[in-house]
Amino acid sequence: MKLEQHISQLAKAAVKALYNVDADDSQIQLQKTRPEFEGNITLVVFPFVKLARKAPAQVAEEIGNWLLVNGEGLIAKYNAVQGFLNLVIDDAFWVKQLEAIDADANYGQQPDRHQLMMVEYSSPNTNKPLHLGHVRNNLLGYSIAQIQEANGWKVVKTNIVNDRGIHICKSMLAWLKFGKGETPESSGKKGDHLIGDYYVRFDKEYKAQIAELMAKGMDEESAKREAPLMLEAQEMLRKWEANDPEVRSLWAKMNSWVYAGFDETYQRMGVSFDKIYYESNTYLEGKSEVEKGLASGAFYRREDGSVWADLTKDGLDEKLLLRSDGTSVYMTQDIGTAKLRFQDYPIDKMVYVVGNEQEYHFKVLSILLDRLGFPFGKELVHFSYGMVELPNGKMKSREGTVVDADDLMDKMIEDAKEIYLQKNDQSPMSNVQCDEVARMVGLGALKYFILKVDPRKNMLFNPAESIDFNGNTGPFIQYTYARIQSVLRKATRAESAINGEADKRAEGTLHPKELELIQRLTEYPAVVRNAGDNFSPAVICNYAYDLACDFNSFYHDLSILNEPDAQKKALRLLLAKNVAKVLTSAMSLLGIEMPERM
């Protein structure tokens, strides 16, 4: 039974015995004892003052004394401060809590809800590699999925790949004109990087054509519209939607290169998906639903043939759903994707992990799905997060405007290895082991630094700060875990075994550092629930950091392996073992691996 439940039951019994009143749950108010007072948990006695017809301090004193005598050894002592009864819990209770944590292989996991949540993240375009913005998106989406699974949800991790549209045709057209048959194999480039290079090439040539037309007297808007490359790209898109075999064949070939590149990046980043949807499949479903909405009067067609939704009565504006040439837009695709997903899965909650610049888009999507008669329309959740940037000059990018994910991961791993070798110039590790530790630490630094920030805020990612072994960083927590593993390896089996009953091990008084650590461990299930309720990996980060700090303080002040008292040594080894277990669990919710040695 949890401490709060113990105290609640005892408090009700005390009020009944002292004042002949049956207290209800709403009258039992418990809170963590304020740091300036001695105690672990505080009972607020003001709800009983009127019933007892006595002063608050007297009521607190009477209840405290009753609990001390009748509390089944749970209460070691108490102090009353006006209407607040601060209770000090007996050490034996905390040792039993530690034993229960040790015995629970799934400690922190919540009961099965028998409900399904779908979490969408990543959503790349097949015209360029994943970039820094995608890194935050993927790390948030994957961590949210892990946290919700720990909270009892069955989670389906999903991705929608934007594999069609004018941006895709730009890369295709540039490759046709300037590629000379170049492939990932012939160039030695990852497929997504190769295609991204041609997207950049299109933009370069397009801007040159605009400048040329403007030099001949055309205004800028007309030049952008009439540039030959743009007209060819638009014609290619129309051919794609008309299933032109040559265009479709080129599209399939180039997309296959990109998918191979994406898969490599995802695997390296440590994220995965249970189901991938493709806009090239879902947009037709969306167009079909838009046509139905047009027939029912939910939408309207303008003179140029384009289809729109009037959302002015909802406090928004008018939204384009189909262009005048019949081609679809992102909103059309999202309507079709939502329909297919709810056909494929019995979804109880649908969560979109998408940047805050798309907040308006998801407001509109929710209204349109509801207007089309889908019952889930109003229940969609847009998990909106802020932008992430790098300090100027920290890293170069392939395109000159954004930092791609592969470059960022390369740099983080490279920096981690350099720092590791500086700290361990005579390391017994092999080169392969060193590379593996550098990979874990570099990626752990990246993931933790991004996830520890409130996801709804914009953030600046500083690579150098993220890899500090002494700050609020992933490497600091990983190093704490590796330190514990070193201690446990040095301990013999006999020393690691916990002998005797809980009350024997708790003889005397637990050291404040031991008590602090046990109490921190008991908070973990509530932390997991909080992170799930608020969709916030940052809650897990903060807890893992606090737990690591508590352990390092404990380790600094108290001996473990050199403790002469066998029972104290066994207790401290048990503490270390379970700190490592909870750190591993917490960091796994962030997608971070823990090295056994550092």
In this predicted model, what pLDDT tens digit does every residue of 155-214 receive, in sequence order? 999 999 999 889 999 999 999 999 999 999 999 999 999 999 999 999 999 999 999 999
What whole-number distance in Å separates Cα of residue 43 and Cα of residue 48? 11
E strand spans, 392-523: 459-460
Question: What dotted CATH number matches 405-589?
Answer: 1.10.730.10
pLDDT of residue 391: 76
> In this structure, are strands 349-355 and 381-385 parallel, antiparallel, or unpaired?
parallel
Mean pLDDT of the chain: 92
What whole-number distance in Å separates Cα of residue 320 and Cα of residue 302? 10
Cα separations (Å) of 270 from 26, 93, 265, 444?
Answer: 45, 40, 9, 10
Helical spans, DSSP H, in 452-562: 463-466, 474-490, 493-496, 502-505, 512-522, 524-533, 537-557
Q: What is the pLDDT of residues 393-435, one digit of tens each?
A: 444 444 455 788 999 999 999 999 988 788 776 556 778 888 9
- The encoded tokens of residue 245 equal 């075999």
pLDDT of residue 586: 98
Residue ranges matching CATH 3.30.1360.70 in the chain: 3-89
CB 87 within 8 A of CB 75: yes
Cα separations (Å) of 186 from 19, 128, 142, 190, 473?
Answer: 87, 19, 34, 11, 41
Q: What is the pLDDT of residues 287-313, one digit of tens each?
A: 999 999 999 999 999 999 999 999 999
State the fold for domain 3-89. Gyrase A; domain 2 (3.30.1360)
pLDDT of residue 496: 54
Mean pLDDT, range 106-110, rounded to an integer: 96
What whole-number distance in Å separates Cα of residue 120 and Cα of residue 350? 8
Mean pLDDT, range 536-556, rounded to an integer: 97
CB 107 within 8 A of CB 585: yes
| Residue (of 78, 60, 57) closest to 18 by Cα position | 60
CB 544 within 8 A of CB 477: yes
pLDDT at 461 over 70: yes
Residue 1 pLDDT level (bands cut at 50, 70, 90): low
CB 43 within 8 A of CB 54: no
SS3 80: strand
- The encoded tokens of residue 365 equal 């999507």
pLDDT of residue 553: 97
pLDDT at 75 over 60: yes
Q: What is the pLDDT of residues 238-283, one digit of tens each?
A: 899 899 999 999 999 999 999 999 999 999 999 999 999 999 999 9
φ/ψ region of 386 (left if φ > 0, alpha if ψ in -120 to 50, else beta) reads beta
pLDDT of residue 502: 41
Residue ranges matching CATH 1.10.730.10 in the chain: 405-589
What whole-number distance in Å separates Cα of residue 249 and Cα of residue 507? 77
